[in-house]
């Protein structure tokens, strides 16, 4: 069923749109009237800026039932499948350019963060021992690892980005929001779609989907997607282009529907990535507290090393370790939906797997300091959700139960090479000219068993036709059992033990890697709730206010913990406490049908106690950093979204978000590089800037009041499309021209803000122009980052506090041509 769209959901960043909306993946089906053409034009299955028609409604399932977006008292953004294709937003990373409060950072698929309003997961290297704050759901199935966000969207119908805590309606509790992805479902009418794109950087992308009946009660759908592109950074050492794309995705579904009241959907999918990835470029150096002869400039000169380029936007690197980002993800699900009495009973049973095969260059240079760095892992997760939806004249409610089990096994290796000794030992060390660190290897074995069960519910009581009260609650139990073991071997393959024996060589080796074994455990019950009141002020005007008391489950450190001076693990850092969340939000949604416009506003404040922060203390031995609790964090701000369509020939939109996300209390944070590297003054706490190189460095720093990493205070998205009716080659259709732009202000790229890792703000512009026919053919050219903006996605602090800063440049200008046909 096609529904043409006039408006988007609360605080939504998109203009007038149209979607092809089918049965909800979450809820009882509601059937608005089908769309009709205007001016002889068929409804477009698209969203912002593609000449969409402007009558009808967007149907969303944010509250586990199908309803119009403007009636949902929730800040939510919605993107249609055609808008995803037209703007090149084929994964969550590209999607953030259309949604100002969504942040996405990825140095590789495993080290990926998806945050909303600055909250979600700690910025930095991934630690499997904690939960996501932003849930990713695909056809009602929770994906526990954010690596799924790096894959291409496959046959997607609609994406909803829900902002704020989502625990009383969704299976897995999430404190920052949720990304709800709905794919196209099997149909009992034949339909098919094919698309291919080519562009510079040897870009080739192909997509296809076909759906139709097998019998009167059985329908099937199959979709495939393939993306290939040359890398954007040239590695002079390996003579390869780094940051390439090599993605394949497959999805198949069977729908058995013997009656309108009962259906079973069986789905399976498989995706893989096999890119030459992931690298970095030299950005510069900064002064730290190490002695000058132990900082990057002197260390590099001592070994005759010069970076391949000191200009990061030359996009040249010389990384000498192997790079690999092998990534496989997939699984299967069975969804049963049964209309029982006045409501609907839904069961979703799912299994997901994720296999990760990485190789990295962790020293960020062309020197053989770290010659091998990898943490391959294998994950299996099992979920079961059962819920009942009821809709009545005065009361709607959803009640449900959710079970989750996850097992992750990881086998890590980090080896040092021939340049490590002179890089890590001082010139006055008797072993400075030896090879005592050459071949030094740490081998890590770890596993995580994660169990979670919950019951939840939410009701909507229509007190009057205008006033609705919406309470919700959740009871949750979480249990995590972990194991981490690091064994250390010297260059001869002999294991180094903490057996009381000492030597100069052993002391030097243990300063890099120390054996460690811990078995952290965590379990806890949590109760959370929320309450929303909404009021229809007038026709087309909805005001709402929300309070939510939520939590994020406690966690365990799965990548090793810091040690004392005797190399004993500090077991007090093995676990982190749950986050306690208080969330407040007010908003108003307005639509002006007579002029084809919407204006949505929201303001929010989220206070978090015991915020789970990622700590990177510069030790090689703590391979992936560790977790700690910051005393308090606050994210507050507002969002304003406006769109207008004065005629069928033109539409435009603009959206703004202001996000003030700060550490309210974090007195023992890791120090930024400018305050690190000297002789430690135990217990010192300083908020200031760099001191004298070689001086005492504080053991920790008070960064209270400073910004959270990865959060721009200001972000905008904006665009328009204009079109004209024409007939070309005896085909009636539209020629069109569209523009989509976005801007974000500067942000910190280090957990503790540093003068060396602040990423400047930037603006990106994307254009497209083409011709689409009334019978479903579309051809258009596109250019992305049209003005060749030089910008960084992330900056990285090199290990060892040498002052080295590396970075990941954003994509350069890309251009190409796309052909699409619907059958």
Cα–Cα dist 138/178, whole Å:
11
For every residue of 481-516, DSSP letters joined together read: EEEEEEEEE-TTSPEE--SS---HHHHHHHTT---E
Provide the token pair at 255.
Answer: 């729908």
φ/ψ of residue 83, rounded to 5: -65, -35
Contacts of 91 (CB under 8 A, 6+ apart): 149, 150, 151, 152, 153
**Angle 776-194-89 (CA atoms, 0-180°, nearest 5)?**
95
Contacts of 730 (CB under 8 A, 6+ apart): none
Mean pLDDT of all residues belonging to the chain: 86
Q: Mean pLDDT throughout 126-143?
A: 87
Cα–Cα dist 81/19, whole Å:
8
Distance between alpha carbon 114 and the CA centroid of its chain, in Å? Answer: 2
How far separated are the first and last CA of the chain, in Å rounded?
15
Contact 604, 636 (CB under 8 A): yes
Count Cα atoms within 13 angstroms, Cβ side, for 199: 24
Question: Would you call 150 helix, strand, or coil by DSSP?
Answer: helix
The structure's pTM equals: 0.88
Strand partners, 13: none
306-359 confidence digits (pLDDT tens): 999 999 999 999 999 999 999 999 999 999 999 998 899 999 999 999 999 999
Asked whether residue 801 carries a pLDDT value surpassing 80, the answer given is yes
Strand partners, 266: 254, 334
Strand partners, 264: 256, 336
Q: Which of 410, 405, 295, 417 is closest to 367 using CA atoms? A: 417
Place of tokens 């992931």: 278
Burial of 224 (0-12, 13-18, 19+ CB in 10 A): middle
Cα–Cα dist 54/49, whole Å:
12
pLDDT of residue 65: 66
Distances (CA, A) of 648 to 9, 38, 593, 722, 736: 21, 8, 14, 9, 12
Q: Strand 156-163 to strand 134-138: parallel, antiparallel, or no bridges (unpaired)?
A: unpaired
Strand partners, 807: 281, 795
pLDDT of residue 59: 66
Strands (E), 341-393: 343-359, 370-374, 377-391
- pLDDT interval class at 95 (50, 70, 90): confident
What's the chain's length in residues? 823
CB atoms within 10 A of CB 236: 13
Contact 629, 614 (CB under 8 A): no
Provide the token pair at 223.
Answer: 């979709």
- pLDDT interval class at 687 (50, 70, 90): very low
Q: Which of 478, 458, 481 is closest to 390 using CA atoms? A: 458
pLDDT of residue 219: 98
Place of tokens 């430690």: 680
Asked whether residue 298 carries a pLDDT value surpassing 90, the answer given is yes
CB atoms within 10 A of CB 261: 11
Question: Would you call 224 helix, strand, or coil by DSSP?
Answer: strand
Cα–Cα dist 409/402, whole Å:
24
Contact 102, 96 (CB under 8 A): yes
Q: Which of 344, 347, 188 is closest to 258 using CA atoms? A: 188
The percent of residues in the chain predicted with pLDDT above 70, rounded, is: 88
Cα–Cα dist 645/649, whole Å:
8
SS3 of the chain: helix, strand, coil, percent, to 5: 5, 55, 40
CB atoms within 10 A of CB 216: 9
Q: Which of 784, 762, 671 is closest to 712 using CA atoms? A: 762
pLDDT of residue 246: 94
For the chain, helix (H) and strand (E) counts, in that order, are 5, 48
Which helix (H) or strand (E) segment is 102 a member of? strand 102-106
pLDDT of residue 61: 65
Distances (CA, A) of 323 to 242, 271, 657: 8, 20, 37
Contacts of 523 (CB under 8 A, 6+ apart): 477, 478, 479, 480
Contact 586, 603 (CB under 8 A): yes
Burial of 430 (0-12, 13-18, 19+ CB in 10 A): exposed
237-277 confidence digits (pLDDT tens): 999 999 999 999 999 999 999 999 999 999 999 999 998 99
CB atoms within 10 A of CB 449: 14
Distances (CA, A) of 531 to 75, 458, 547: 15, 9, 5
pLDDT of residue 5: 32
- pLDDT interval class at 62 (50, 70, 90): low
**Angle 672-811-365 (CA atoms, 0-180°, nearest 5)?**
50
Provide the token pair at 713.
Answer: 């205070």
Strand partners, 453: 403, 477
Q: Which of 67-71, 374-378, 515-519, 750-754 has the lowest mean pLDDT?
A: 67-71
Distances (CA, A) of 135 to 161, 172, 177, 765: 10, 7, 7, 29
For every residue of 164-204, DSSP letters joined together read: S-B-SSSSS-BSSEEEEEEEPPP-SS-EEEEEEEEETTTEE
Cα–Cα dist 99/14, whole Å:
8
Q: Which of 83-92, 178-187, 303-312, 658-667 has the lowest mean pLDDT?
A: 83-92
380-398 confidence digits (pLDDT tens): 999 999 999 998 889 999 9
pLDDT of residue 619: 46
Contacts of 415 (CB under 8 A, 6+ apart): 370, 371, 372, 373, 439, 440, 441, 442
Contact 58, 69 (CB under 8 A): yes
Asked whether residue 21 carries a pLDDT value surpassing 50, the answer given is no
697-741 confidence digits (pLDDT tens): 566 789 999 999 999 999 999 999 999 999 988 899 999 999 999
Whole-number CA gyration radius for the chain: 27
């Amino acid at each position: 069923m096609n529904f043409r769209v006039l408006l988007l959901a609360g605080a939504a960043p998109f203009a007038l749109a149209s979607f092809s909306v089918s049965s909800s993946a979450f809820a009882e089906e509601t059937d608005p009237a089908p769309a009709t053409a205007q001016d002889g034009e068929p409804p477009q299955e698209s969203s912002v800026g593609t000449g969409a028609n402007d009558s009808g409604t967007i149907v969303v399932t944010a509250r586990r039932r199908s309803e119009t977006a403007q009636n949902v008292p929730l800040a939510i953004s919605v993107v249609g499948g055609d808008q995803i294709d037209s703007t090149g937003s084929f994964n969550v990373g590209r999607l953030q350019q259309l949604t100002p409060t969504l942040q996405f950072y990825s140095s590789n698929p495993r080290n990926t963060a998806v945050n909303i309003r600055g909250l979600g997961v700690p910025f930095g290297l991934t630690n499997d021992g904690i939960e996501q704050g932003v849930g990713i759901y695909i056809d009602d199935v929770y994906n526990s690892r954010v690596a799924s966000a790096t894959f291409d969207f496959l046959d997607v119908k609609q994406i909803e980005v829900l902002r704020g805590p989502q625990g009383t309606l969704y299976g897995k509790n999430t404190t920052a929001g949720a990304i709800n992805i709905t794919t196209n479902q099997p149909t009992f009418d034949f339909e098919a779609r094919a698309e291919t794109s080519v562009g510079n950087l040897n870009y080739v992308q192909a997509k296809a989907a076909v759906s139709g009946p097998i019998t009167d009660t059985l329908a099937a759908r199959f979709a495939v997607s393939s993306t290939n592109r040359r890398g954007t950074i040239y590695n002079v050492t390996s003579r390869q282009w780094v940051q390439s794309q090599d993605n394949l995705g497959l999805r198949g579904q069977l729908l058995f529907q013997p009656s309108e009241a009962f259906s079973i959907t069986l789905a399976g999918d498989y995706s893989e990535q096999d890119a030459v990835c992931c690298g970095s470029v030299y950005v510069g150096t900064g002064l730290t507290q190490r002695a000058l002869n132990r900082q990057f400039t002197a260390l590099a000169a001592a070994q005759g090393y010069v970076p391949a380029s000191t200009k990061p936007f030359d996009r040249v690197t010389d990384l000498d370790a192997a790079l690999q980002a092998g990534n496989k993800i997939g699984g299967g699900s069975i969804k049963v939906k049964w209309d029982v009495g006045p409501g609907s009973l839904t069961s979703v049973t799912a299994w997901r797997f994720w296999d990760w095969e990485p190789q990295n260059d962790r020293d960020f240079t062309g020197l053989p300091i770290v010659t091998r760095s990898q943490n391959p892992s294998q994950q299996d997760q099992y979920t079961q959700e059962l819920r009942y939806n009821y809709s009545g004249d005065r009361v709607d409610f959803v009640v449900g139960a959710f079970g989750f089990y996850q097992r992750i096994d990881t086998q890590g290796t980090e080896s040092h090479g021939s340049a490590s000794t002179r890089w890590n030992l001082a010139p006055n060390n008797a072993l400075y000219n030896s090879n005592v660190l050459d071949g030094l290897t740490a081998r890590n074995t770890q596993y995580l068993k994660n169990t979670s069960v919950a019951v939840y519910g939410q009701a909507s009581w229509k007190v009057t036709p205008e006033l609705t009260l919406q309470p919700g609650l959740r009871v949750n139990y979480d249990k995590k059992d972990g194991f981490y073991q690091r064994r250390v071997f010297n260059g001869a393959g002999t294991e180094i033990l903490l057996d009381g024996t000492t030597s100069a060589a052993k002391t030097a080796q243990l300063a890099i890697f120390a054996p460690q074994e811990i078995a952290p455990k965590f379990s806890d019950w949590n109760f959370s709730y929320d309450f929303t009141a909404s009021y229809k002020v007038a026709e087309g005007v909805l005001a709402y206010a929300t309070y939510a008391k939520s939590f994020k489950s406690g966690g365990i450190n799965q990548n090793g913990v810091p040690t004392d001076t005797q190399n004993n693990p500090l077991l007090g850092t093995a676990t982190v406490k749950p986050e306690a969340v208080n969330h407040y939000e007010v908003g108003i949604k307005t639509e002006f049908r007579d002029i084809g416009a919407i204006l949505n506003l929201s303001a929010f404040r989220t206070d978090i106690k015991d915020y789970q922060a990622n700590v990177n203390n510069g030790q090689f031995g703590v391979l992936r950093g560790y977790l700690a609790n910051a005393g308090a964090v606050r994210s507050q701000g507002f969002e304003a979204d406006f769109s207008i369509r004065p005629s069928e020939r033109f539409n435009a939109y603009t959206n703004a978000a202001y996000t003030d996300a700060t550490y309210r209390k974090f007195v023992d944070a890791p120090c930024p590089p400018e305050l690190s590297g000297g002789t430690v003054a135990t217990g010192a706490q300083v908020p200031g800037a760099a001191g004298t190189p070689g001086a005492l460095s504080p053991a920790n720093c008070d960064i209270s009041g400073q910004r959270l990493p990865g959060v721009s205070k200001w972000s905008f998205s904006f665009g328009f499309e204009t079109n004209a009716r024409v007939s070309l080659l005896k085909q009636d259709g539209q020629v069109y021209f569209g523009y989509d732009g976005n801007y974000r202000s500067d942000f910190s790229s280090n957990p503790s803000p540093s003068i060396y890792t602040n990423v400047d703000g930037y603006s990106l512009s994307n254009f497209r122009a083409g011709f689409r026919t009334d019978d479903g053919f579309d051809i258009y050219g596109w250019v992305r980052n049209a003005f060749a903006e030089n910008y960084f996605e992330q900056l990285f602090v090199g290990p060892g506090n040498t002052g080295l800063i590396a970075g990941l440049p954003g994509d350069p200008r890309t251009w190409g041509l796309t052909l699409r046909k619907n059958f």
